[in-house]
Amino acid sequence: MIFLNETEVNPKHFSDGALDVKIEYSLLKFGETNTIEWRFDNNEELIVVYFLARHLQNKGIHDIELHMPYIPNARKDRAQRYKDVFSLKYFSEIINSLNLSRVIVLDPHSIVSEALFNNLVVRTPEKYVHTLLEELGSETLMFYPDEGAVKRYSDKIGGEYVYGMKTRDKTTRVIQSLLIEGDIENIPGKNILMIDDICASGKTLCIAAKKLKELGAKNLYVFVSHCENTVIQSELLDEITTLYTTNSIMREEHPKIKLIHVEF
């Protein structure tokens, strides 16, 4: 989904499949900041974003912000083998070529993303988590699925927490075991909020949810900044009370999923 100055852009296609993008003159803001908002659905949208930015610049508008809560290709943030295509790097080069005033993102997947984009502004999700904790209660215990998540969130969010220690198969990357570490004596009878940046299959959080229940957790909730639609088919939703996520990439509806609207 793409918006120009809060109006959705719905490109059509020519008979050969090429994009046909039309923008009403009244949408352009001369002498002001123009905003392109991109809530990622597919890579074809990158072409639309590129066309829009170049169109604005051609009309004499150069103060352009890209609001891109979710960074596409963020998971391909390294090329460890010869056959790997470093798609995040090449994606960032396309965005950087537009010479945008600011690129505003929410909770990037890694520091590699933060290093690759020019004029990047990073928004962190703690304000959404704090609002959620007001609803769930101050006695809620935080759970982070790995040490990376602890470093990313614990200082900003505060409060007591426990965390996971994962062991993966080096070849398949399948999780072989997950241990709950920290002050586990605080788990029995507590509501627990599980926090991470991205959720796809939900396998890690599902394994952790089962472990936390075995240790006496009461109600389990999840907050992830970016949640893929594939979670609908996952076992995770059977194990938790509610999953909270932003509208960055989630498009499906489910009784256990509550959307939080990103505001930059």
Q: What angle do CA 149, 151, 154 make, to 5 degrees?
A: 80
Encoded tokens for 124: 């962190």
Residue entry with tokens 């905003």: 35
CATH 3.40.50.2020 domain extents, the chain: 2-123, 126-260
Predicted TM-score of the model (pTM):
0.92
Distances (CA, A) of 104 to 40, 70, 117, 181: 14, 10, 10, 34
Query: How far, rounded to the nearest angstrom, does the alpha carbon of residue 103 sit from its chain's CA centroid?
Result: 15
Q: Tens place of pLDDT for every residue, the chain, 264 residues?
A: 999 999 999 999 999 999 999 999 999 999 999 999 999 999 999 999 999 999 999 999 999 999 999 999 887 777 777 788 889 999 999 999 999 999 999 999 888 999 999 999 999 999 999 999 999 987 899 999 999 899 999 999 999 999 998 777 666 666 777 899 998 999 999 999 999 999 988 899 999 999 999 999 999 999 999 999 999 999 999 999 999 999 999 999 999 999 999 988
The fold for domain 2-123 equals: Rossmann fold (3.40.50)
Instruction: List the alpha helices (DSSP H) in 11-86.
Output: 44-58
Q: How many CB atoms lie within 10 A of CB 45?
A: 18
What is the domain class of 126-260 according to CATH? alpha beta
Tell me how far apart the alpha carbons of residues 215 and 34 are, in angstroms, rounded to a whole number.
Answer: 51
